[in-house]
Chain A
Amino acid sequence: MDATVTTPGSVGQKTWGGGNEPMSASYGKLMMWFFIVSDALTFSGFLAAYGFSRFKFIETWPLADEVFTHFPFLHGVTAPMYYVALMTFILIFSSVTMVLAVDAGHQMNKKKVTFYMFLTIIGGLIFVGSQAWEWKNFIKGEYGAIETKGGSLLQFVDNTGKRLSLAEVAQSLPKERETLTRNKGVWFMKESELPTYSVEEVQAGFAANPNILIRTEVIYQDTPANRADKTLQPGLQKAKHKKILTRAESEKMLANAKYVVEGANLVRNEYGSKLFADFFFFITGFHGFHVFSGVIINIIIFFNVLLGTYERRGTYEMVEKVGLYWHFVDLVWVFVFTVFYLV
Chain B
Amino acid sequence: MAHEHVSNTKRIWFVFALLSVVTTVEVILGIIKPESLLHTNALGMNLLNWVFYILTIVKAYYIVWAFMHIEGEKASLRWSVVAPVIFLVLYLLFILLVEANYIFEIFRDSTIKWNF
Contact = CB atoms under 8 A, between A and B. Distances in A.
A103 B7 contact: yes
B77 A23 contact: yes
Question: Helix, strand, loop or mixed for chain A's interface?
Answer: helix
Nearest to B100: A55
Interface residues of B, number: 61
B111 interface: no
Contacts of B30: 65, 80-81, 341-342
Interface string A233-267: 00000011000000000000000100000000000
Contact of B16 (A4, A23, A55, A96): A96
Interface stretch (A85-93, A136-144, A303-311): A85-93
A335 B56 contact: yes
Nearest to A148: B116
Contacts of B97: 48, 51-52, 55
Given A3-B74, A23-B74, A65-B30, A37 B81 contact: yes
B12 A343 contact: no
A337 B59 CA distance: 12
B112 interface: no
Contacts of B55: 338
Of the listed residues A40, A57, A98, A342, the one surrounded by the most CB atoms of chain B closer than 10 A to its CB is: A342
13 contacts: A23-B74, A23-B80, A24-B77, A41-B89, A44-B89, A48-B97, A89-B20, A98-B67, A106-B5, A151-B114, A217-B115, A331-B60, A341-B30
Interface of A: 2-4, 23-25, 30, 33, 36-37, 40-41, 44-45, 48-49, 51-60, 65, 80-82, 85, 88-89, 92-93, 95-96, 98-100, 102-103, 106-107, 148, 150-152, 217, 239-240, 256, 323-324, 327-328, 330-331, 334-335, 337-338, 341-343
